[in-house]
Amino acid sequence: MTFLISLVVLLRADDQQWIKKELFKEARQEFGSDAEQRLRDWQDLYEDLRNEDEDEQLRAVNYFFNNRVNYVSDQKHWGQKDYWATPYESLTTDGADCEDFVIAKYYTLKELGVAVEKLRITYVKALRINQAHMVLTYFPTPDAIPLVLDNLIGKIYPANRRKDLEPVYSFNASGMWLERMKGQGIRMGNPNKLDLWTGLRLRMSAQGMEI
């Protein structure tokens, strides 16, 4: 009986191991123990939030990435004008730009069970700094004003309170939309036409993560 109980505990632990075990070893070998620890902290975040409601999942995931990874431009970090990093790459190299923060939050929330239909990777114009920016938007219902998860501002606000952001377009794994402040926007195609999105999906798949 004791053996059976131990086996069940091990199987449950394995179910919770949503990051491939090999990645911890790779992170330590290539980037050091701090990189491995950031992955383990991400694993712990997932386990802590699995049974929480969506409001708490949004708050905690937004806080984790905003405070656990440093902002670094793609040009400085990757030597490229634009590169969409996987969550593994962002955490192990301790660097991300706005797109990478959004990708990591989107993937984590999806894995926690938040429906993809509620999540949008959203391009905006950040008016205060006069440049293109990316945020994650969350629609509690299809016609709702979405909530905005942003690496520039720690607190989550409804989109109509973010007067500093001008929405342009958004996408998730199932589609692309011309954006607006309320509701789903105007559907405009398939995200797989975006080369950066396709490249990201391939690299994530190789890391055992399907976005």
Ordered by start, the domain boundaries in the chain are 2-206
Angstrom CA distances, 11 to 51, 94, 137, 166, stand at 18, 31, 35, 47
- What is the pLDDT confidence band of residue 177, given thresholds at 50, 70 and 90? confident
Fold of 2-206: C8orf32 fold (3.10.620)
Could you tell me which residues are beta bridge partners of residue 171? 121, 176
- The greatest distance separating any two alpha carbons of the chain, rounded to the nearest whole angstrom, comes to 65
Report residue 194 as tokens.
């975006």
pLDDT of 104-162, one tens digit each?
A: 999 999 999 999 999 999 999 999 989 999 999 999 998 899 999 999 999 999 999 99
Say which residue the tokens 């990874």 belong to.
69
What is the reported pLDDT for 174? 77
Say which residue the tokens 């993937």 belong to.
107
**E strands present in 65-185:** 119-126, 131-138, 147-149, 157-158, 165-172, 175-178
Say which residue the tokens 């409001």 belong to.
55
What is the reported pLDDT for 61? 98
What is the reported pLDDT for 197? 87
The closest of 100, 30, 28, 36 to 65, measured between CA atoms, is 100
What pTM value is reported for the model?
Answer: 0.87
Report residue 199 as tokens.
């490249």
